[in-house]
Chain A
Amino acid sequence: MSRCGLFLRRAAAAGRACRALVAFTASRRPLRTSPQSRAFAKELCLGKIEKNGVFPFPEVSQDELNEINQLVKPVEKFFIEEVDPQKIDREGKIPDDTLEKLKSLGLFGMQIPEEYGGLGLSNTMYARLGETISLDGSITVTLTGHQAIGLKGIILVGTEEQKAKYLPKLASGEHIAAFCLTEPGSGSDAASIQTRATLSEDKKHYILNGCKVWITNGGLASIFTVFARTEVADSDGSVKDKITAFIVERDFGGITNGKPEDKLGLRGSNTCEVHFENTKVPIQNVLGEVGGGFKLAMNILNSGRFSMGSIVAGMIKKLIELTAEYACTRKQFNRKLSEFGLIQEKFALMAQKAYVMESMAYLTAGMLDQPGVPDCSIEAAMVKVFSSEGAWQCVSEALQILGGLGYMTDYPYERMLRDARILLIFEGTNEILRLFIALTGLRHAGRILTGKMNELKWGNVGVAMGIIGQKLRDALCQTVNMGLTGKLGLVHPSLEDSATKLEQNVYYFGRTVESLLHRFGKSIVDEQLVLKRVANILINMYGMTAVLSRASRSIRTGLRDHDQEILLANMFCVEAYFQNLFSLSQLEKNAPENLDKQTKKIAQQILEKRAYICAHPLDRMS
């Protein structure tokens, strides 16, 4: 096995040379192109499609592709032949020899730069490898807990010394990392973090005290990224509590674990409480700036999300294989299950979801791999929301195909269902991420539109007339053309209809955002139901763009089975288009489709009584 690991390293080293070349050309790219491409999702909120970086679909070079394939093959083989997810789930623990092999495969250092002994994978390659490791949920979570969040802080803001000290051992898997942010009283509310680090009298140490809960790898880890309050002197001399990140080794002492939590799914991964009691942390171990923990935590959380798309896509592809085999062999009424329309529909759905989330994930990974530091946090969040919900839906549909068999613990399906449920919750619940997506987009649009809004508020006749004129033109069936279609369009003609639908959606979404900002202004932060719809539309539009871009590329380069891609892309675009139209009409003022008021009232009445308040249907007055 160690030979295999060695082989991987060598493969990675081979790739290094060519990547250096790529990096060289990449570093020159900004000189040639117009100013750095603006974030795609933010431009959507203004009713524009930012084509740079999205069309054409990002590609990897042949060398990189070979490198990835060389990496993936042994990992895939290992997962298929030697990992027993059933056993891991039943025993609630990943066996030690499996962990050892994962380490020797180098999977604990996928994104750690090569100079520190990691594989130094780009985001795209990381996503590709994620597809393979998704075959077991517990291992996936252990690995992502280790590197997507646990040690990400060191890569992002660590000093040279910190990197040199910790990364090699983390890359080899000798040390496992954990990310300690959540507390009993603090989920997404950073202001209620209670863990405190106080500077010792000799000013060489911080004394860390507090309790962190639900820490992935909490029991295995020897390196912790811990967020705690520290007193920071402000520029004006006042002392304030601010959050600071620390690298804490288990050897610093005073660290204890609670017992591993018993969970619904991902039972093989280790999740437990971690207590810090007078742990002495040297000041060299402050991660980033003192008081800069909040931003760091946000960055780490934002950067880790995009990989869920490919991980889930990998899982669904596997699921399709398993259920297709069942549907093609099981017979009822002398017909195979696969002949029934209702079963076929489910396969189409699963394929569509997998296709869309794959496209979104690799598009985002490609954007992230662009030179510079592109801010793709909205796109990553959209991938996370779409893929987690798709996963839940697909696994549930797969269970429908399997009938009672899916419910039995002898088969892997119920485990997949249990494992998939957490995807909607962790790394920011989907509700919170929807708010993030919508608010970040609206903030961008709001800033740019400030001038126009103020003119409107002051009753500038010219601006108002302009808007009225625009509405008139919209009403008179003005066709929207954003340059996606046409003779030299970016989208292949067989997807032309879908591209026009996307353009229409984007255009009217821009109008809607304008009117929303005009109506609600900054108080839109409190209109969560409105924000949810805005986020849904954005996610759909991003999905449409991703599939259009990918399918166009597939057709033009002549990939195999691209006719299926056309079908899937068109199907998704039509569905998303009508969903968007409905959402847009709900966002109009006084729309009859909009039942927000009633929804709120019902909820308020129930929450006041804290119970379901309707009388029983069998109740009588006399």
Chain B
Amino acid sequence: MSRVRAVLLVRSLARGHAALLGAPFSQVPHLAPRSLHCNSAHRTSEKSVVPHPPEPGKKPVKVPVPYEDLFQLAPGGTRDKASFMKALQSFGQHNVRKRGHVDFIYFALQKMPEYGVERDLAAYNLLLDVFPKEVFRPRNFIHTLFFHYLLQQDCGVAVLHQMESNGVMPNKETEFLLLQIFGRQSYPMLKYMRMHLWFTRFLNINPFPVPRDLPQDAVELATLGLQHMEPDLSARVTVYQRPLPDDKTDPGDPTKPHIVGIQSPDQQEALARHNPARPLFVEGPFSLWLRNKCVYYHILRADLLPPEEQEVEEIPEEWNLYYPMKLDLDYARSGWDDYEFDIDEVEEGPVLAMCVAGAHDQETLAKWIQGLQETNPALARIPVVFRLAASTGELLTASGPEDLRQSQREEDDDHLQRQQQGQS
């Protein structure tokens, strides 16, 4: 802990030192009065990896952002990888001594999602290439000990951090660049090593992987979500209703939400065996997160049978033509060979089908049940009760999205703090 405090102390000292020295060390030649302090403030606010769209609520004082002109699009140009690369190159041409490269890199990081290159390793490598080489390498152990060129190192870490958040694995070229820029004994290098270690361990840790690029189409997304939840691979997905294509929507026409359902043969069998005197329930909506998208689904389920109605499955006497299916011995497995843990299992009623629909009202879901009746004729005789929750269960805040964003930012700061402590 004392070490952490020492580190923080050293950091503030370094900052003060830089402030004292003033302009000569500033990285922002255009905005001399803002000086380094300002610069660092800018950094902490921009540290968040999530790009903030312009906030409509409060109108900030319009401060000209440096290097915005570099990212100005030529008329008719599109924001893509090529134009991003071009912007990076134009910084080099525009500024031979690479002055202000820290600010530029932070700014470029922020711009990356707009150009759709936030998951592009080559773009990150090119961005790191903006750093001047050899200058920030520690020359002796004291340099190593006392945060040689802290600002630049932080900036390097930020680049790696954004790579991490987007799941981009650094490669040999990244390592080579970092070595050239910061040397082996530096925070970006440490971050790189850690990423290399943990990425390989965490990349495939999810036994139920979700594809990296989710389908845009609602029906396809629903299919994916349903298949993600269904453990039985022979389950069949049925599209009961397709949404109307956007261009054909008539304002007078009622909307036609998509309805996609899934049912496995076992569920079908259980439904056929269901006692028609007992109702079935449609419940939902429940949420399922697939990466950053949320899908709401409904289930068709039955209540658990009371024990007196449960049929005991008896082994028919004449069953197997070849060998006895049970031995008529009156002793069972000995306690010494029973390795089963004593687990209290709560039995639930069976789920008989699932669906994802575009709307969560009873009318839409009734269409799903109608569709199910085609493959499950028994369903026509069974009463179905709709038990729909009013809301989707989503976290709704009274003050709107800004509070959310605020809290998110706090979280980010918190995260940053933790990260720094972890590094020290």
Contacts and interface: CB of A to CB of B under 8 A. Distances in A.
A290 interface: no
A435 B333 CA distance: 19
B334 A525 contact: no
Interface stretch (A312-320, A416-424, A438-446, A551-559): A438-446
B199 interface: yes
A188 B322 contact: yes
B200 A621 contact: yes
Nearest to A298: B321
A454 interface: yes
A223 B155 CA distance: 90
A294 B331 CA distance: 28
Interface stretch (A201-209, A396-404, A514-522, A539-547): A514-522
B331 A621 contact: no
Interface string A141-172: 00000000000000000000000000000000
Contact of B319 (A189, A518, A609): A189
Contact of A191 (B169, B318, B329, B336): B318
Nearest to B172: A622
Nearest to B325: A525
Interface string B310-332: 00000010111111111111111
A433 interface: yes
A519 B324 contact: no
B391 interface: no
A278 to B, nearest CB: 26
Given A454-B331, A621-B199, A621-B200, A243 B324 contact: no
A487 interface: no
Interface residues of B, number: 27
Contacts of A589: 337
Interface string A506-526: 000000000001111111110
B233 A520 contact: no
Interface in B188-244: 199-200, 203, 233
Interface residues of A, number: 40
A453 interface: yes
Given A518-B334, A621-B203, A622-B169, A433 B327 contact: no
A525 B331 contact: no
Contacts of A301: 321-322
Interface in A188-246: 188-191, 242-243
B170 interface: yes
A297 interface: yes
A392 interface: no
Most chain B CB within a 10 A radius of its CB, from A443, A450, A522, A622: A622
A390 interface: no
A379 to B, nearest CB: 15
B329 A446 contact: yes
B424 interface: no
Q: Interface residues of A: mostly helix, strand, loop or mixed?
A: helix
A432 interface: yes
B322 to A, nearest CB: 5
Contact of A453 (B200, B320, B331): B331
A435 B171 CA distance: 55
Contacts of B331: 450, 453-454, 457, 517, 521-522
Nearest to B169: A622
Contacts of B323: 432-433, 435-436, 439-440
Contacts of B337: 519-520, 589
A440 B334 CA distance: 21
A601 interface: no
A173 interface: no
Given A301-B322, A436-B322, A522 B169 contact: no
A301 B323 CA distance: 12
Contact of B330 (A190, A242, A436, A450): A450
B321 A522 contact: no
Given A440-B323, A621-B199, A523 B318 contact: no
B329 A521 contact: yes
A517 to B, nearest CB: 8
B326 A522 contact: yes
Contacts of B319: 189-191
Contacts of A3: none
Contact of A450 (B326, B329, B333, B336): B329
Nearest to B195: A622
A309 interface: no
Interface in B349-368: none
B170 A622 contact: yes
A589 B333 CA distance: 13
Nearest to B331: A521
B326 A519 contact: no
B322 A522 contact: no
B333 A521 contact: yes
B320 A447 contact: no
A242 B316 CA distance: 11
B233 A610 contact: yes
Nearest to B316: A191
Contacts of A523: 332-333
A520 B320 contact: no
A521 B334 contact: yes
A428 interface: yes
A443 B321 contact: no
Contact of B318 (A294, A446, A457, A622): A294
Contacts of A440: 323-324
Contacts of A525: 324-327
A522 B318 contact: no
Interface in A575-621: 589, 609-610, 621
Contacts of A442: 327
Nearest to B196: A622
B384 to A, nearest CB: 32
A298 B233 CA distance: 36
A374 to B, nearest CB: 20
Contacts of B336: 519
Contacts of A294: 318, 321
A181 B321 CA distance: 10
Contact of A522 (B170, B316, B320, B329): B329
Interface in B149-198: 169-171
Contact of B327 (A188, A243, A443, A621): A443
B201 to A, nearest CB: 10
B318 A524 contact: no
A591 to B, nearest CB: 13
Nearest to A443: B327
B318 A520 contact: no
Contact of B320 (A188, A518, A521): A188
A522 B327 contact: yes
A476 to B, nearest CB: 25
Contacts of A522: 326-332
Contacts of A432: 322-323
Most chain B CB within a 10 A radius of its CB, from A446, A589, A610: A446
B189 to A, nearest CB: 17
Contacts of A191: 316, 318-319
Interface in B270-320: 316, 318-320
5 tightest Cβ-Cβ pairs between the two chains A and B: A436-B323, A294-B318, A622-B169, A521-B332, A522-B329
Interface of A: 181, 188-191, 242-243, 294, 297-298, 301, 428, 432-433, 435-436, 439-440, 442-443, 446-447, 450, 453-454, 457, 517-525, 589, 609-610, 621-622
30 contacts: A188-B320, A188-B321, A188-B322, A189-B320, A190-B321, A191-B318, A297-B321, A298-B321, A298-B322, A301-B322, A436-B323, A439-B327, A440-B323, A447-B329, A450-B329, A454-B331, A517-B331, A519-B334, A519-B336, A520-B333, A520-B334, A521-B329, A521-B331, A522-B326, A523-B333, A525-B325, A525-B327, A621-B169, A622-B169, A622-B170
Interface of B: 169-171, 199-200, 203, 233, 316, 318-334, 336-337
Given A243-B318, A447-B329, 9 more contacts: A301-B322, A435-B323, A446-B329, A450-B330, A453-B329, A518-B334, A520-B334, A522-B332, A525-B324
